Every structure is written in structure tokens, then in C-alpha cells.
A and B are shown apart, each in its own frame.
Chain A
């Protein structure tokens, strides 16, 4: 098994607010991230695909193809967007790094033509990232 990783960067804004909580509770739980105007990050996304190289091409999958999928599914949807209001897949969810990573997994999983999506790693800052390995009890890490 070979693991190949492609990286992209996108910039987006978000805010954390749970409508089921009072404004005071939201400020206490989410701190500065509850600022109603939102704030932004330069997200870095690493997408890892696992598979055996095709004996004819020597490739697990064509990186050009993975680049196109990431462009269509992630960049077009999320780059320079306000995640709470402009990304329908995140509607009703608090756009934490956990929820964005899980959403990205769901968007990508069926679009990987060769190999198998192994890991989605989303950096919100260089010091904070979330790894998603798909559905629990799915393929082993």
C-alpha cells in the first residue's frame, strides 16, 4: 500500500455560535470565536489517498485528477467564503475544524476514482489541526 498526499490552501471566515445557547453562554464557551462579525483563517488541507500503484502508469492515482477534484469540491465551495453562511454542507453545524474536516471527508470520499481516501487533515492554524479517517469502524487507520 502506498499513501499519497496532496495539499491545498484556502482562506475563509467563520464564527462559532450555538442558537440553543444564550448569548452569555455562547461567549463563555466559544470566547473570541463567538465574535458576530466572524474571523478568518488560512486553512491548509492535506488529503491522503491509499492504494497500489497501477502497474502500467506507476501511479496510485493521477495527481492531476486529485487536484481537479480538490479544486471542484473544496476550493470552489470554501475558498474566500464565510463558511457559516455560504457553504450549504455546513448549514446547521458549527464550523469547527472537526466539523469542516468531517464535511470535507464526505465531499471527497466518493470522488476518488482510484485508491481509497485514507485521511483528511485540516490545519486551521499551524498549531491546530484535525485528522478525519472517515466513518468509525471503517477501514483501519
Chain B
């Protein structure tokens, strides 16, 4: 008997991935004094690091052959290729070209990760959440399609 899926159900699969990177918050649009005022310690010219955690949420029909929205091996390899390999153990400002002219706040990091993962071919990307530390987190669900967490 072919296993029966739960396709009538509204389901969302979420996976968490850690990576570590450094950044410096400094805007070319602000003066030195304004940068200091806006970013405080985060404006330290040498940068500083975090253990980030990215939560990736996807939705879609449950494949009757597997019982899955997406095979985790596919999701893991896509996230590794698009985000973890280019970001892990890097200085985001200098080593990720998207942050040459965009301040790598965790807000912007969240949006950039969403942009990179949007093309995941096996399920619909619903939301990206980034924990900068265990005490703060940021979420992005794309433009004009936001839904409550």
C-alpha cells in the first residue's frame, strides 16, 4: 500500500543551522561620529563575531512517496551551498560581496539569506529567522507575503 500523505493539512518544516562570522556595523552614509552614535561597540574598526543560528521554514505538499515536504538532504545541501559555505568563518563585510555596500546588520543578513534561499526548488520558502545571539533574533518572510510566526 502506498503511504497516505496529509496533503489537506497546512504544514511547515523548519530546520536550524549554526554558522559563525564576524562583522562591523559602519555606514558610508554616516560620519565617524554618527557611526559611533548609531552603532556603539559594533562600530569597532576591527569588527567582532557571533555564533549565528539560521532557521529556515518551508512549506508545500507532503510527497506521498516519502511523507516529507522536502528531503532534508536536499534542504541541507542547498542551505550549505547558498549560505553556510559562503558565510561560515568569514568577515561578512569583506568576504561576502553583498555586504560591500550594505551594512551587515542582522536585519540585512536575514533579507540576504532569504534572497539566496528563495530559489530552493523542492518547497516554498516561508520564512528566514536569524539569531545573532541567544538573546536577539530577526525574521523575514519576503515582501507583502508576511505571515505571523
Residues of A whose CB lies within 8 Å of any CB of B are: 16, 18-21, 29-31, 92-99, 101-103, 105, 126-136, 138, 141
Sort chain B's interface into a size bin. Answer: 20 to 34
Complex CA gap A136/B73 in Å reads 26
Instruction: Flag if B68 contacts A136 (CB, 8 Å).
Output: no
The residues in B between 32 and 82 inclusive whose CB is less than 8 angstroms from any CB of A are 57, 62, 65-69, 71-73
Residues of B whose CB lies within 8 Å of any CB of A are: 1-6, 8-17, 57, 62, 65-69, 71-73, 147-148
Instruction: Flag if A131 contacts B66 (CB, 8 Å).
Output: no
**Given A105-B9, A136-B8, A98 contacting B68 (CB threshold 8 A):** yes
Q: Find chain A residues with CB under 8 A from B62 CB.
A: 96, 98-99, 102
Instruction: Flag if B11 contacts A92 (CB, 8 Å).
Output: no
Complex CA gap A95/B11 in Å reads 15
**Residue among B1, B10, B13 making CB contact with A135, cutoff 8 Å:** B10
**Residue among A19, A105, A129, A130 making CB contact with B1, cutoff 8 Å:** A19
